[in-house]
Amino acid sequence: MMLKVLVWQVSNDTSFKDKAIKILEQQHNGIEIVGEAVNENIAKVDGGGQYDVLLCVGAKKFGMSKITADAHKLNLPEEKLLGDWIVCIPGFTLEKYRHLQRSQLSIISKNCFGGFISNLMGLPFRSPFINMTVRDERECIVLYRNLHSYIHLPPVLKGTQFEHILKFDYPIYRIVDVDIHMNHYRDFDEALAKWNERKQRINWDNLFVMMFTDKKEILEQFDELPYGKKVCFVSFKSNLPSAWYLNPKIAGDNYLWEAVNHFGMGRTVYYDPFDMLLYGKKTPLIDM
């Protein structure tokens, strides 16, 4: 049965539109465009939701959280929304993406990777590990070993540090013996409020835990952690199940953390991100 697609243009950015439609056509042996509309006019051609996909053209400009909120106001079926750029992510299939949406995944990450890949995949933030970093690798291991107990303890302001790129002082909060650098917040109260708000959203039944390291002993400690889906990006090859090798030189990055962040942003997609987040499955997409 042919996939029925309603096109909703939410901004003037149509750079992903043609490629997204072509991919959907290839994956479904053709599609039927049942209508097209711009912004609020979509409500007039919705037709009671008689379609399979509401393709949101130009959605990356705003992010799926805003598009979802707008769809709710217009009484559009949120479960049929699909950002055009998401279709263009290597590894995409509609089945895998819908499964990922329904999974209510919480991403626990050492740095901003969690926020980057959530934005890339159009996923809501179900974790406080957004716009922050745990710089010390050993502290990160301690945190992951005690995640459930640590996450329920109140962070205490330890001090501040200057953010050289953004040019402001940010707060460092401490939970027992782990420093949480809230390096994207100049407002200390906002940083703490976001942490406390987002930790309430954690889905403990579906965690994806991530870190990165250049040290084999840290990788070995991470590999022993009792999580079903765990990924440690490393700059060396290893046979340990949780070791995911990245070669920063492929994209011209100078450091492992740059390669990790750029993967999260979708600039260099080393592995299938859908398989990674859904199953912890390592599906290489490029030769490293």
| 227-278 confidence digits (pLDDT tens) | 999 999 999 999 999 999 999 889 899 999 999 999 999 999 999 999 999 9
For 247, how many CA atoms within 13 A lie in the half-sphere containing its CB? 8
Quote the pLDDT of residue 192. 95
Secondary structure of residue 53 in the 3-state scheme: strand
- pLDDT range class, residue 144, cuts 50, 70, 90: very high
Q: Distance between CA 256 and CA 236 in Å, rounded? A: 10
CA angle 192, 193, 195 (to 5 degrees): 65
| CATH fold of the domain at 3-88 | Rossmann fold (3.40.50)
What element of type H or E holds 156? strand 156-163
Q: Which residue did the predictor score with more confidence, 221 or 168?
A: 221
Does the pLDDT value for residue 119 go beyond 80?
A: yes
Quote the pLDDT of residue 193. 95
Quote the pLDDT of residue 163. 87
Pair 281, 275: CB distance under 8 Å: yes
CB atoms within 10 A of CB 67: 25
Quote the pLDDT of residue 138. 97
Start and end residues for every CATH 3.40.50.720 domain found in the chain: 3-88
Pair 180, 200: CB distance under 8 Å: no
Residue whose C-alpha is closest to residue 138's, from 171, 179, 170, 81: 179
Q: Distance between CA 113 and CA 127 in Å, rounded? A: 12
Quote the pLDDT of residue 73. 94
Question: What is the pLDDT of the chain when averaged over all its residues?
Answer: 95
Quote the pLDDT of residue 176. 96
The pTM score is 0.94
The Cα diameter of the chain in Å comes to: 60
Give pLDDT tens digits for 40-51: 899 888 777 799
Does the pLDDT value for residue 1 go beyond 80?
A: no
Does the pLDDT value for residue 160 go beyond 90?
A: yes
